[in-house]
Chains A and B, each alone.
Chain A
Amino acid sequence: MKFRDVNAFEGSTGYTLLPFRFRRLPFDRTRALVTNLAGDWLICAHADLGDLIKGTLDSEHPLIKDALGRFLVAKDPSRSALTPLISQMRTRKAYLAQGPKLHIFVVSLRCHHTCTYCQVSRRPLGDSAFDMASDAGSLAVERLFEWPGKELTVEFQGGEPLLHFDRVKMLTEAIVHRNRTEGRQLRFVIASTLHDLTDDQLAFMREHRFALSTSLDGPDWLHNANRPRPEKDSHRRTIEGIERGRRALGDDAVSALTTLTRKSLDHPTAIIDEYRTRGFNAISLRPLSPYGFALKTAGRNGYAMADFLRFYRTALDHLVTLNHSGFPMVETYGQMLLSQLITPFSHGYVDLRSPTGAGLGAMVYDFDGRVYPSDEARMLAAMGDASFSLGSVHDSVQDWLASPAMARIMEAGVAESLPTCSDCAYVPLCGADPVDHYARQKDPVGHRPTSSFCARQMGLFDLFIEQWETGSGAMRAMLEDWAVARPDVREAA
């Protein structure tokens, strides 16, 4: 049988196909998820979708009305009739016009922990050569204000930034001073173990309304196994730091996230219960990344993405129980995925945007003045591969954006143009991560059938679609609550 001419597929239904993508549902292969160019979607019988595409669907079929409403087909394909779709597409990509919002200052690589999965290639406590110098910091502040964004989140990282708090103070004061004429909306965050916090440090942070982000891997036996200190008391010190931070800055100012090792995967409910015990209403269940010491200890700590997804499914069930019992708790990455799925807005989180967030959503100013488009690029450089270094703080922002490294990122940074991504139903909601693919597969474009990034994104999107469609009333209510609450992008960074 030969294919007929394409005009023969017009059918008698009088509708025109608009560009869309679809995915057969993994949990029900007789149905398909169909997404338009802006990420609006519906689910229908796969057979009906086939008829819609071939132009043989009965004109009274309810799918036609749904498809018209979701801009999968149109009666009138003129521009004026499609203006709402164009507007939706712009809304979905609204972050493009803003420039990087997240600016990470690595004030020191020194740290008092010896975490087995450390991704930042920490240095010993006495190694002050790995502290950010004053001139590098000053130049980084100048570069910060070369970006156009009205909202700037300045995040201090390490190592342990509290070990070089003088630099944190100097940079904060310089930024605040400069902002008197710039008028940006500033937000300060410190990513820290919160160990050995002093009253002076807390007073400074309170003055500038800092948010604190720390690591809490679970109950003490798990946290201490993952994040050893010589004194074997990391968990106790972390809890003390959290409590002191809350007293000084307010409960909402302190957030925590997990890093999941293989040991962690056996204990989803214990990890969530620890967060419940400590009064957190948000948890970030974050899988390992292939950087730094995490790569060296992959044999002991690592796991397949399928294992992480099984863990996440169990965690989600436990979170439903917890939420239904009256204690609200969101999983922050899931919340961002759901807000993409259920609302027309995007939050611009680096893993969920296309073009990629590397260099366009975030910037990293390293202790030595080198500049990177993402934390992962910085971690790669610490491992000896500076492929994605954009330059230094002595260069201009224009120089960084015109650099070979940035060109390499952009060649692989638009998911809609990447093989397999370009046809994926989730691509309007998903992102590209050239640095991650380079780190794992030595190719910024990557091979999607073996991509851990893709496995995670698709696995979680599939899970949420499945739960949205087939989950209990309590599950659906929780997912709705997550979707419409404003995600805190910082917490899942």
Chain B
Amino acid sequence: MATIEADFDLGLYPASAVMAAAHHFSGTHKASVTTTGNATRVLLKARTDDAPDVTADLSDAVIDETLRAMVRARTQTLHDVLVRAAFDPIVAP
């Protein structure tokens, strides 16, 4: 079965983002994530012979999860305020 191995610089991509990205492929691949030195290493092993090649998708996913982490970090407080303002309390018409 095909195996993909990729390292992601911890200085550029948080380990949590790399883990979240690897999770996306855990349906078609067995995923393992480890940290070695300054990098987070992802190992994706295809579960079946016809599993798709996700090498490029993995890189995209790591970039996207990093961007999502940035959005969360900057908006989490505002998110909580907005949700509370919208739904607390719900009043029946």
Binding site for B on A (CB under 8 A): 1-3, 6, 9, 16-22, 24, 29, 37, 49-50, 53-54, 77, 79, 82, 85-86, 89-90, 93, 96-98, 148, 419-420, 423, 447, 449-450
Whether the Cβ atoms of A86 and B82 lie closer than 8 Å is yes
Partner of B27, one of A29, A148, A449: A449
Taken together as a complex, chains A and B put the C-alpha atoms of A97 and B11 apart, in Å, by: 46
In the complex, whether B91 has a CB less than 8 A from a CB of chain A is yes
Tell me if B53 is interfacial: C-beta within 8 Å of chain A.
Answer: no
Nearest B residue (CB) for A7: B74
Among A9, A21, A79, the residue within 8 A (CB) of B70 is A9
Would you give the shortest CB distance from A25 to chain B, in whole angstroms?
Answer: 11
Docked CA distance A382–B62 (Å): 44
A6, B82: Cβ atoms under 8 Å?
no
Interface set of B (CB-CB < 8 Å, partner A): 9, 11-12, 20, 23-28, 60, 63-64, 67-68, 70-71, 73-76, 78-79, 81-83, 85-87, 90-93
Minimum CB–CB distance for A39 against chain B, Å:
13
Q: Per a CB cutoff under 8 Å, which of B60, B81, B87 touches A96?
A: B87
Residues of A near B26 (CB, < 8 A) are: 447, 449-450
B55 to chain A, nearest CB (A): 13
Residues in B with CB closer than 8 Å to A148 are 92
- A17–B68 Cα distance when bound, in Å, is 12
Cα distance A423–B67 in the bound complex, in angstroms: 11
Set of chain B residues within 8 Å of A447, measured between Cβ atoms? 26-27
Q: Can you list 10 A-B contacts (CB < 8 A)?
A: A17-B74, A19-B75, A20-B71, A22-B68, A50-B67, A97-B90, A420-B23, A420-B24, A449-B23, A449-B25
Evaluate whether A96 and B82 lie within 8 angstroms (CB atoms) in the complex, with A6-B73, A29-B60, A450-B27 already known: no
**B76 closest partner in A (C-beta):** A19
- Nearest neighbor of B68 in chain A, beta-carbon distance: A423
Give A78 Cβ to nearest chain B Cβ, in Å. Answer: 11
Question: Which A residues touch B90, using CB under 8 A?
Answer: 96-97
A89 and B73 form a contact (CB under 8 A): no
> What are the residues of chain A within 8 A of B92 when measuring CB–CB?
97-98, 148
Residues of B within 8 Å of A2, CB to CB, are: 11
How far is it, in angstroms, between the C-alpha of A93 and the C-alpha of B86 when the chains are bound? 9
Known: A96-B87, A447-B26. A17 touches B67 (CB 8 A): no
Q: Which residues of chain B come closer than 8 Å to A1, judged between CB atoms?
A: 9, 11-12
Which residues of the other chain, B, contact A449 by a CB distance below 8 angstroms? 23-28
Chain B contacts of A82 at CB under 8 A? Answer: 82, 85
